[in-house]
Structure 1
Amino acid sequence: MSFGTVAQSYERFRPGYPAELFELVMTYAGRPVRTALEIGAGTGKATRLFAGRGVAVTATDPDAAMLTELRRHLPADVRTLRAAFEDLRVGKAYELVYAAASLHWTEPDGRWERIAALLEPGGVLASFGGPLRPADPAVEEAVRAVRAPFLESDDIPSPDGTPPEHTMQWPGTELQRSGWFTDVRQVTVAQRLTMSPRDCVGYLSTVSAYLTLPAPVREEVFSRIGQVLPERVEMAADVTVHLARRRSGQ
């Protein structure tokens, strides 16, 4: 619920998703996808990828400010619903349920059973996202060094404790164990962006680890990071995608 305070910055500084992601999901589905439910739509970065290609998206988010920003950038026929994932009414089933950098915010108890209940038998779950990091290891280390006195890490830890060196990462690990899904896959869509130092700091201002810092500390961290960034920053913005299919017999 902290993201609504920076909704406009979120829209401005967070990158969108590449067309390759849409094609990847559709190829995995193996059939036309007409209806989709989005969990934690935010300002609609992923909504426009799917809705702009003919999918009837119901975009949900618990934060009114985020949905207000979404509506500013998307057609009126995109349905929005202010609700946390846990409060969504189970009834209508969708061909696709997807979450863009949001699934880790949902409650773990009953998560997979609930998603399965929102999907048609054989329907597809797609979860995707990934942090932006300086592509140059020296720049990344410089940022880490000036951040360290205030914030040890700005990563989101794996919800199930899977080490980062494992081939299959969360949520794929839990999906494989859940019993509700089959054909679990993990794919990376490579993406590189070039940003100014100002835009890099703008992006960091939308990251939860910084949002929860006291304002004076946050501004000090941003000032120090801005000072060590080069004039143009090459960013690694790879998107990790997890795909799974709801078991038809359940």
Structure 2
Amino acid sequence: MSELFGEVANSYDEARPGYPPAIAEAIGGYHGGAPGRLVEVGAGTGRATEVLLGLDAPMTCVEPDARMAARLAARFPRVEVVVAAFEEWTPPPGGVPALACAMAWHWLDPATRNRRAYEALAPGGTLAVFGHRYAYVNPAHAAALRAAFESVDPATQRDRPEDWFHADIADSGLFTDVRVVPFRRAVPLDTAAYQRLVSTFSPQLRRPPELRARVLAAVGAAVDGFGGTVVLDLRTALVLARRPA
């Protein structure tokens, strides 16, 4: 499943919203400056990489899908790109000063992801995990879009709790000084842009082509019914944690 998104590698950057530049500032402030090296796990095509480069640290990006990794390498030639699953990647001896993961923590093996992150970090190193929650400014729009999805595919995936990866990391007992930094933005999308975004979501990519088309038609009709624009209430959570020294 970690290689699901390669199918949409060429449209992913355009469709997915980026991250606030303040994320890099928050990581740097927590770490105490720019880390000597930053490793990003599940980097995809680099939506988070472009923000993490604001730390001005040498970067290694670990991405299991070769199609996503190729686009990432083309966009950021000064970044080292390793095509591998996190579970197969071997960190350097002594670990790395900082490890980041954006919108990919749930794709890592839940039985081992915290332990692997801990072991990949140098003592005192920083773990930074962040991701978006796609909500809607207008509750009526949220209800209409939910109904549109479910009218075509009643098996539509339910969202995880908003703070699930904060709890996951804290409950592992491996890290200290676990904290969450929230960001929130309103992001307007027209009908076509919203359909492009939906086309990059994993539930949509799992559907057969005919069902995908019906889902896009249903959500497109819903957004058209709002006047052709839906405004995302884009909530981004950054979880910071430290491997004990």
Q: Report if TM-score (shorter chain) is over 0.5.
A: yes
Normalising to structure 1: TM-score of the pair? 0.90
* 1:154 Cα deviation from its structure 2 partner: 4.0
- Structure 2, unpaired ranges of 5+: none
Give the aligned residue type for 1:177.
D
- In the other structure, the counterpart of 2:243 is 246
* Secondary structure in structure 2 of the residue aligned to 1:69: helix
Matching of residues 86-105 of structure 1 within 5 Å: 86-92=87-93, 93-105=95-107
Query: RMSD of aligned C-alpha atoms?
Result: 1.6
Of 153, 156, 161, the residue aligned with 2:156 is 153
Matching of residues 1-250 of structure 1 within 5 Å: 1-74=3-76, 76-92=77-93, 93-149=95-151, 150-157=153-160, 169-229=163-223, 230-248=227-245
* Secondary structure in structure 2 of the residue aligned to 1:50: helix
* 1:69 Cα deviation from its structure 2 partner: 1.4
More helix by share: 2
- In the other structure, the counterpart of 1:160 is none
C-alpha distance in 2, partners of 1:191/1:243? 20
C-alpha distance in 1, partners of 2:75/2:61? 13
Contact 2:21 2:54 in 1 (8 A): no
* 1:106 Cα deviation from its structure 2 partner: 0.5
* 1:156 Cα deviation from its structure 2 partner: 4.5
C-alpha distance in 2, partners of 1:79/1:238? 29
C-alpha distance in 2, partners of 1:170/1:50? 22
C-alpha distance in 2, partners of 1:137/1:195? 16
CA deviations 1:151-188 (Å, max 9, x no partner) are 4434443xxxxx55xxxx22222322323201111221
Contact 2:25 2:55 in 1 (8 A): no
Q: How many residues align structurally? A: 238
Give the aligned residue type for 1:13.
A
* Secondary structure in structure 2 of the residue aligned to 1:87: coil
CA deviations 1:101-160 (Å, max 9, x no partner) are 001101122222211111111111011002323321111111111111314434443xxx
C-alpha distance in 2, partners of 1:154/1:202? 18
Q: Assess, with a 3 A threshold, how the Cα gap between structure 1 residues 30 and 57 changes in structure 2: closer, same or farther.
A: same
- Structure 1, unpaired ranges of 5+: 158-162
Give the aligned residue type for 2:59.
V
Q: Assess, with a 3 A threshold, how the Cα gap between structure 1 residues 38 and 199 changes in structure 2: closer, same or farther.
A: same
Query: Which moved further from structure 2: 231-240 or 216-225?
Result: 231-240
* Secondary structure in structure 2 of the residue aligned to 1:68: helix
Contact 2:28 2:55 in 1 (8 A): no
